[in-house]
Structure 1
Amino acid sequence: MNPNHHLVLQTLSLLQQCKTLDHLKRAHAHALKSGAAADPIVAGELLLRSLPAFRRMRRRSLPPDSFTFAFLSKAAANARSLSVGSQVHSLALRHGLDRHLFVATTIVSMYAECGRLGRALKVFEEMPHRNVVAWNAAVTACFRAGDVRLARKLFGEMPWRNSTSWNVMLAGHMKAGEVDFARRLFSSAPHKDAVSWSTMIAGFAAHGAFDDAIGFFKELLREGCRPNEVSLTGILSACAQAGAFETGKTLHGHAEKTGFNSIIAVSNVLLDMYARCGSVDLARQVFDWEMGKKSVISWTSMIAALAMHGHGKKAIELFDEMEQNGTTPDGVTFISVLYACSHAGLVQQGHEIFHSMADNYGLEHSIEHYGCMVDLYGRAGLLDKAYEFVMRMPMKPNAVIWRTLLGACSIHGNVCLAEHATKQLSALDPNESSDYVLLSNIYAVAGKWKDVATVRRSMSAQRINKDPGWSSIEVDKVLYTFVANEELDGEKREAEKKLAEVMARIRMEGYVPEVAGVLHDIEEEEKKEAVWRHSEKLAVAFGMARTKGAEGVIKIVKNLRVCRDCHTVMKMISKVYKREIVVRDRSRFHTFREGSCSCRDYW
């Protein structure tokens, strides 16, 4: 749902009150200024209300002017209606206004929004006079069509450029994933405004360049620029994804001082940042005390936060409270609630909630909701039921569905079903390394070493490389990343030294390495060494070396699922050293305290 939901409702209300074309123009201006015009419902309503008004004008023989055609073109663009847009273009041509600067520019934008780059550029080339706005519209059209090279060519030919020209190029390249080019472009821009900075920060965050996003935000502050809503939400999003808790807390303070925390979009990202950085309590504090009117996104984010941290029952209680509050859940809300049920083993409740979507709310199940149910049954060990559910789905199972089933087979050691799921995946997504690694591990645990070797040979023949496991930890607002079995240098070598001490200590307390999944053709001691140097162990050891005693919570972010051996080690460290450890892997949080994990060994 649109985060500016109240603006959408306000705009729709204004449109319903329109009696004249002048009223309609004012409502359209409000929609463009507030950003509500991007909402598909508003766009459709604009189009449906503008066309009858135009027909009445024609019946009364009132001559249309440039504003009329510009308005109609924008309405058609917002609704992405090529048929209506083409008719408007024809009528503008008939009235001799098709080459009017304002009209032609909006027609260029209309064709671009409708995916017709050729038509857009033809109109642009036929314009007798072009200003910088028209050039910007043509460059934007190229980016809309994914033609980055042509956008660069047109940008190079522009006789004038303004700040919008540079910002269009920055946004277009970031969206296309051309991050390094965008960085060079930003450096060469003669003037950087708030939009330039926010585009770069949000773009870095979207592409996983968290250090760059944080670095650019700090530079923005050094330059004396005031962050806007977009740059602040962008940097908070980067902190959320990177697990940069201390940096996020500092930004929270900045948002409070500047009043940005009163903006619902910023509050929602603050909530998500705390949840993803391992502090569900602070996320709940933002939700309960800092938010005014909560949107459906706010409720859904808090439910998802509780679910990620293993508080399934609390997530369902909040879902009930959301309904009592009068906020209608959407499809994303149900994904979060079903996720909570799956990770808490609440099979019956998950089953009931899934069916309530259609029965109580009239919502259609998407493939994501079906995937949640496969995960729910699979985690609970009901693999036959999970497979039957896949077979009864009204749509064809995609790679995510089969991968979910394969993951359940890995947890419960079902070799036969794992082979079937992998066969389906090899047809749908043959280059995904994690599928082969999972199957290989399933074979290894089952002692089927010939099959392990076959999978590894297949990966080698297809040149499929295993994604390296990495873990990151924030210490004194600096992010350190460790990769499994990497050679450590500099200050990172502290991790190696501390880890050796930790492993020796917990072995005295009864720790025995779980090496069943490690290749059988190496010596036992080498197997132990292989699991000892997993990235999350190195990151935790580094955190312990940099903090004294029981000082602070050690928070780790990992790109893969935590392995059983590392899970056991974290539990033992939390007991022996009296340290609280929070690990965020690719699917959930694990909070280790006094020898236990919040997942209750159900993950």
Structure 2
Amino acid sequence: MLERDLVSWNAILSGYVNAGRVGDGKQLFDVIPEKNLLTWAVMISGFAQNGLGEEALKLFNCLRVEDHEPCDYTFAGAIIACAGLGALEHGRQLHAQLVRFGFESSLSAGNALMTMYAKCGVVEAAHHVFITMPYVDSVSWNAMIAALGQHGHGEEALKLFKEMLKENILPDRITFLTILSACSHAGLVNEGCQYFNCMKQMYGINPGEDHYARFVDLLCRAGKISEAKQVIETMPFEPGALVWEALLAGCRIHGNMDLGVQAAQKLMDLMPQHDGTYVLLSNMYANVGRWADMANVRKLMRDKGVKKEPGCSWIEVARKVHVFLVNDTMHPEVQEVYNFLEELGGKMRKLGYVPDTKFVLHDVGFEQKEYVLSTHSEKLAVGYGLLKQPREATIRVLKNLRICGDCHTAFKFMSKVVEREIVVRDGKRFHHFKSGECSCGDYW
């Protein structure tokens, strides 16, 4: 009877976490009198997949403290949690433990390891896991293609896709999402158009809104705004927020103010509380010096109670994750970071670095703009890593929003001055800075 009840409890618990009701799931988890490994695995994965990585890792540790021997599924959940947190060293330790327990041939654990290494900026390790897995499925292929695309290896992603087809693995809708993203990040417009068109013609997969959004993004990044607009006008269904957001971002990059305002209005109608729309539109106005229009957008945000998501960046040092906000004053060592960055900035200027003040979206003086740029969260996190990590270590920083254009330029100069590789994962992709260059080729 208890076993039958546990099957029911596990099913309900799975339903809660799959629906994003993690709090309800945890309440149920806590009252289940006798849990099996599936119970633990569902809860750990539920935390990890819903952005609660720290809770997932704490629960995994509780599993070990209670003398339960973990299974490959519990390991997979904990490893995915490390992926979300950018906790590379913790993930590596879990990888070692997984091998020690004999789960290195597990499909679920292997796929989790690929995702973890890719999201922590070590795409080479992700590829090593992929090629050494005894068995791979479509999820494995999709994860590896996505990893290559996110790191700017568009050509390699397309090559892997062709290998997948040779292995008689049929692509699914997720495969084409990863392919379109890879083409978008690498500027492979012709290839992206070809794959978008062959979805339906060759594989019978009807493009969804997410596919159209990535196709529009591909065209917009390449400056083909009118073509993107034509795609939207000929869609077989009403375009949603994903599509308009891709168009707005493209208009922001290429300065198409009129169409950008139209896209922003559509987004405001569909998602009136989405802060990104207001921020992008106000940034567009600021870029052309239309300060009154920018102020009106900010006032509209306040009137509607829309809160801007603060930019933050984080870095793992000595197995502890350090978080930095813009103009940070809370981190106990932040003043040391400011002093270090000021000293480093002098060396960067000797090589030709000039702060790009157009990325300061405030109507203030030049010196004040330079100061604002120096306090960006990604600069603080990179500076902390340079100060605290060993000389031979690659600096790996994660950021919740798109990297600032000035920070992108600054990191190229930093990588040359300090002769170290700097890897930054922003809200869209990875940037690998080395010897004064970025892996994105300044196409982002």
TM range (shorter): over 0.9
**Corresponding residue of 1:516:** 358
Alignment partner of 1:201 out of 44, 65, 85: 44
> For the residues of structure 1 that align with 2:361 and 2:115, how far apart are their CA atoms?
39
Alpha-carbon shift at residue 495 of structure 1 (Å): 3.0
Superposition RMSD in Å: 2.2
Structure 1 length normalisation: TM-score? 0.70
Contact preservation (8 Å) 2:73, 2:108: no
Tell me which residue corresponds to 2:106: 263
The answer as to whether partners of 1:444 and 1:517 remain within 8 angstroms in 2 is no
Distance across 2 between alignment mates of 1:513 and 1:237: 37
Counterpart residue type for residue 579 of structure 1: R
Query: Equivalences for 1:439-478 in 2 at 5 Å?
Result: 439-478=281-320
**1:342–1:521 distance in 2 versus 1, CA, 3 Å:** closer
> In the alignment, which residue of structure 2 is the partner of 1:253?
96
**Offset from partner CA, 1:344-390 (integer Å, 9 cap, x none):** 11111111111122222222222222112101110000111111111
Cα distance 1:448–1:274, how it changes in 2: closer, same or farther (>3 A)?
A: same
1:564 maps to which residue?
405
Letter of the aligned partner of 1:194 in structure 2? L
- Can you give the 5+ residue segments of structure 2 that lack an aligned partner in the other structure? none
Q: Output the amino acid matched with 1:513.
A: P
Q: State how 1:78-93 maps to structure 2 within 5 Å.
A: none
Q: In percent, how many aligned pairs have the same letter?
A: 43
The DSSP-based 3-state class of the residue aligned with 1:602 is: coil
Distance 1:168 1:318, change over 3 A: closer
User: Against the structure 1 CA distance between its residues 294 and 175, is the aligned structure 2 distance closer, same or farther, given a 3 Å change threshold?
Assistant: closer
1:485 counterpart = 2:342: no
Match of 1:294 among 108, 113, 136: 136
Say which of 374, 378, 394 aligns to 1:553: 394
Per-residue deviation, 1:502: 2.4
Residues 170-209 of structure 1: matches in 2 within 5 Å? 171=14, 174-175=17-18, 177=20, 179=22, 183=26, 190-209=33-52
- Displacement after TM superposition at 1:476 (Å): 1.5
Paired residue secondary structure (2:401): coil
**1:72 maps to what in 2?**
none
Asked if 1 retains the 8 angstrom alpha-carbon contact of 2:359 and 2:405, the reply is no
Counterpart Cα distance in 2 of 1:507 and 1:215: 45
Could you tell me which runs of 5 or more consecutive residues in structure 1 were left unpaired when the two chains were aligned: 1-130, 137-162
Q: Which residue identity lines up with residue 437 of structure 2 in the other structure?
A: S
Q: Distance in 1 between matches of 2:74 and 2:59?
A: 10
Query: Deviations 1:512-571 (Å, cap 9, x if unpaired)?
Result: 22222424433332222222111111110111111243x211111111111101101111
Residues 467 and 253 of structure 1: CA distance in aligned 2, closer, same or farther (over 3 Å): same
Alignment match, 1:397: 239
Instruction: Please give the per-residue CA displacement for 1:451-475, whole angstroms capped at 9, x wherever unaligned.
Output: 1111111111111111001111111
**Which residue number in structure 2 is paired with residue 343 of structure 1?**
185
| Equivalent residue for 1:305, pick from 140, 147, 153 | 147
Give, in angstroms, the shift of residue 265 of structure 1.
Answer: 1.8
How far did 1:487 drift?
A: 1.8
When normalised by structure 2's length, the TM-score is 0.94
Aligned match of 2:439 = 598
1:544 and 2:386 equivalent?
A: yes
Aligned residues: 444
Alignment of 1:61-80 (within 5 A): none
The alpha-carbon deviation at position 171 of structure 1 amounts to 4.8
Partner of 1:426: 268
Give the secondary-structure state (helix, strand or coil) at the position aligned to 2:238: coil
Structure 1 residue 503 displacement after superposition: 2.7
Q: What SS class does the counterpart of residue 104 from structure 2 fall into?
A: helix
Is 1:575 aligned with 2:420?
no
Conserved 8 A contact 1:502-1:541: no
CA separation of 1:189 and 1:363: change in aligned 2, threshold 3 A: closer
Deviation at 1:338, TM superposition (A): 1.3
The structure whose RCO (Cα within 8 Å, separation 6+) is larger is: 2
Which amino acid letter does the alignment assign opposite residue 593 of structure 1? K
Q: Could you say which residue in structure 2 is the equivalent of 1:334?
A: 176
Mapped to 2, the partners of 1:187 and 1:417 lie a distance apart of 52
CA offsets 1:435-466 (integer angstroms, 9 cap, x no match): 11111111111121121111111111111111
Structure 1 residues 489 and 261: alpha-carbon distance in aligned structure 2, compared to 1, 3 A threshold: same
Distance 1:460 1:496, change over 3 A: same
